[in-house]
Structure 1
Amino acid sequence: MSASDISIQASLVDNKLAVSFKLLLGLYLVIPLSILVYILDQYYWGNYLKAILPSSPSHFILFQILFGTPHIIASALILLGNKEYLQFYKVKLLVMTALIILVFGIGSLFIPYRVLYIMAACWTVYHVFKQQHGIAKAVCQLPSWGFYWLLWISVSAGIFIYIGVFLKNSLGVQQIEWVKMIAFVLTFGLILSTVLCQRYIKTGFGKCFLWSNTLLIVSSFYMYTQQYYFLAILIPRLVHDATAYVFYVTHDYNKHHQSPQNTLFKYAERCHLHVFLVLPLFSFALAYLLQAYGDEMVNMITRWFFDGEIRQAISLGLIGYLSLMHYYTEAFTWQAGSPLRKYIRFSK
């Protein structure tokens, strides 16, 4: 979910459930909880967690199953599972699909993998922080220049932290130090910028939102420097994904709770499954099946029919495509005036 231009306005339909800004702010409690876990591990558990938590990008499959892929699949299910949404956005979806195939498909034959990886990483980080800053914008009421300055310095710092975590095994010692130094300068600059911008915010609640977004970067950077790589990525990702699910479930409840509008929710009603649980359960289950068994299932089929294999057809191909489409579509599907947005209202 990317909320680039959220405003508190009257809904076009009678929505019984509202997105609570207090609930969204409460999700940032993952920051002090992660710091508490770090302190306990440092001083009481003898670095046990540091030793067992994933420390290499190749070990992040569990992370993707739990935190990365499910909300991407959830957003795709909302968009593709409702005919009116698909019809409304079909031109944009087709154009973006063609561009993804051109750049990341055909382009991979000519563009180095490292370049494509960094492009995708930059888009990922931008998507994550654009959502959080977009939501905070409605509460903080910052001047436009302040909003974009904090957003871009957060994104820049986040990109270097991301690179430092996921490319650490392929960077030289000097390169790693440069990445850390740049990330530090950007993080420190973000803190100073937040101090400067907070004077434009009139409410304590707004200032809490402002500093919460800044602390996403600060805490992630600190965990990165302490080599708690899993926590460095977990903190912003968990806040981002949980925030997205708040919007998704609110949308589904307001759209489907009285009368299910698509096949998934009609079957869920027959199974007496509460509307709150449908999308989270289905998206997590589908994410697990695709990540754990998708590639092997495709290879079984291709070996049977073509006596060959397609490497990472699901884990890289399909999920990569869904991820890029997610970053693109979420930039406009929840804005005011969209067919999805009419099922969302806000409360403090």
Structure 2
Amino acid sequence: MVAQIIPAQDLPDDKKMTVSFRLLLGLYSIIPLCLALQFVDSSFWNGYLRENLPSSPNHFLLFQILFGTPHIIASAIVLASNTEYLKFYRLNIILMTLAIAVVFGLGSLFIPYRALYVLVACWTVFHVLKQQHGIGRGICRLPEWAFQLLLWLSVAAGIFIYIAIFLKNSLAMQQAEWLRHSAGGLCAALVLCGFYCQRKVPTVFGKCFLWSNIFLVLSSFYLYVQQYYFFAILVPRLVHDATAYIFYITHDYNRHHGHPQNFIYRYAERCNIHVFVVLPVCSFFLAFVLQAYGDAWVSLITHFFFGVEIRKAVTLGLLGYLALMHYYTEAFTWKQGSPYRRFIAFSK
């Protein structure tokens, strides 16, 4: 995504909110916060957090309700509730649904679990870092080769870190060492290339964004090496999820604030619910219901009607499908020329 900075006062009537680059940059403050917590814990708390926090924020239902699931559901709501978008991307959605069914449905019968896990891990890391580098691209104004170089070094390092954390209990010592050294070498290369590429960035603000994306990976690597796995995953997840949510809320406010364009916002208008809170309320409510009760409800229903309990039909099946579809659609729905971008503008 190449973002053009448009002052708010210069926006046409159908665009009342802008995505603030300063706000997006502020989200990276989670990096020094987590590093400070790691320092305090290792220096004064005898590693209490390291020993008691799980290896992933996903183990906390509250985290999934606040950060993990809502932005995926919000993405699905934006796409599914607007018939214009559904018609525009209909073929993409159908083909991707079939691909997911084949690879993760039928394919799971033949493809080893670890291979599928690594595939999803690679896709997840690419999705997270492509979003952040893509947003920074418009600010940094890097040439194509520099953008691709920093992006793929970040993605490669991120994949090794992700796999090393989530498969640590099933890796041999030699494999774990190889992953750590590979990630370290890629991080070192990322820093060196960052120093070289920053010469192409014309503004101080752009340089700050470039290094924020680099430190996103470096901090995760450092926290992983120090065995603070929870923080190593939390840093990129929080930045990514919060950034995405800012885009969704801005889009829906600009699209629906003057005249509601779909049934959700028309109903909200009749109930005097402000347009700004509609998407957060819907997505957080659905995230809570699906994460907390979805599996139990489906299991209860299938047992009552068919005498068979289907486990994790919602958290693994439905939400897994929505997550994979989210990774796919986000690669093109926010690009220049897409119908989404008519309702997005940027300001510094």
Fold shared per TM-score above 0.5:
yes
1:57 is displaced (CA, Å) by 8.4
Secondary structure, aligned partner of 1:261: coil
Aligned match of 1:300: 300
1:30 is displaced (CA, Å) by 1.0
1:239 is displaced (CA, Å) by 0.6
Aligned match of 1:313: 313
Aligned match of 1:23: 23
1:113 aligns with 2:94: no
Report the RMSD for the aligned CA atoms in angstroms.
Answer: 1.8
> Cα 1:56–1:205, aligned 2, differ >3 Å: closer, same or farther?
closer
Secondary structure, aligned partner of 2:89: helix
Q: Would you say the 8 A contact 2:14–2:258 is kept in 1?
A: no
Q: Would you say the 8 A contact 1:7–1:336 is kept in 2?
A: no
Deviates more, 1:100-109 or 1:13-22: 13-22
Separation of aligned partners in 2, 1:261 and 1:45: 53
1:58 is displaced (CA, Å) by 7.9
Secondary structure, aligned partner of 2:273: coil
Q: Would you say the 8 A contact 2:56–2:234 is kept in 1?
A: no
How big is each residue's C-alpha offset from its partner over 1:144-194, in whole Å with a ceiling of 9 and x where there is no partner?
A: 100001000100000011111111111122211111111111111111110
Aligned match of 1:342: 342
2:47 is aligned with what amino acid?
N
Aligned match of 1:66: 66
1:135 aligns with 2:132: no
Aligned length: 345
Q: Would you say the 8 A contact 1:136–1:209 is kept in 2?
A: yes
Identical counterparts, % of pairs: 61
Secondary structure, aligned partner of 2:77: helix
Show structure 1 runs of 4+ deviating over 6 A.
9-13
Aligned match of 1:260: 260
Aligned match of 2:91: 91
1:125 is aligned with what amino acid?
V
Q: Which runs of 5+ in 1 are unaligned?
A: none
1:272 is displaced (CA, Å) by 3.5
Separation of aligned partners in 1, 2:2 and 2:305: 49
2:225 is aligned with what amino acid?
T
1:307 is displaced (CA, Å) by 0.7
> Cα 1:228–1:332, aligned 2, differ >3 Å: closer, same or farther?
same
Separation of aligned partners in 1, 2:2 and 2:13: 20
Query: Please, what TM-score do these two structures have when normalized by structure 2?
Result: 0.94
Aligned match of 2:193: 193
Aligned match of 1:325: 325
1:46 is displaced (CA, Å) by 3.1
Secondary structure, aligned partner of 1:259: coil
1:215 aligns with 2:215: yes
1:44 is displaced (CA, Å) by 3.0
Aligned match of 1:55: 55
Aligned match of 1:285: 285
> Cα 1:56–1:32, aligned 2, differ >3 Å: closer, same or farther?
closer
> Cα 1:271–1:51, aligned 2, differ >3 Å: closer, same or farther?
farther
1:40 is aligned with what amino acid?
V
Q: Would you say the 8 A contact 2:57–2:63 is kept in 1?
A: no
Separation of aligned partners in 2, 1:140 and 1:87: 34
Separation of aligned partners in 1, 2:100 and 2:282: 26
Secondary structure, aligned partner of 1:198: helix
Aligned match of 1:233: 233
How big is each residue's C-alpha offset from its partner over 1:258-284, in whole Å with a ceiling of 9 and x where there is no partner?
A: 222222223333444332222123212
Deviates more, 1:268-277 or 1:190-199: 268-277
Separation of aligned partners in 1, 2:64 and 2:45: 26
Separation of aligned partners in 2, 1:273 and 1:92: 33
Query: Please, what TM-score do these two structures have when normalized by structure 1?
Result: 0.94
Separation of aligned partners in 1, 2:2 and 2:97: 24
> Cα 1:346–1:56, aligned 2, differ >3 Å: closer, same or farther?
closer
Aligned match of 1:156: 156
Deviates more, 1:254-263 or 1:99-108: 254-263
Separation of aligned partners in 1, 2:111 and 2:310: 20
Separation of aligned partners in 2, 1:253 and 1:44: 46
1:26 is displaced (CA, Å) by 1.1
2:99 is aligned with what amino acid?
L
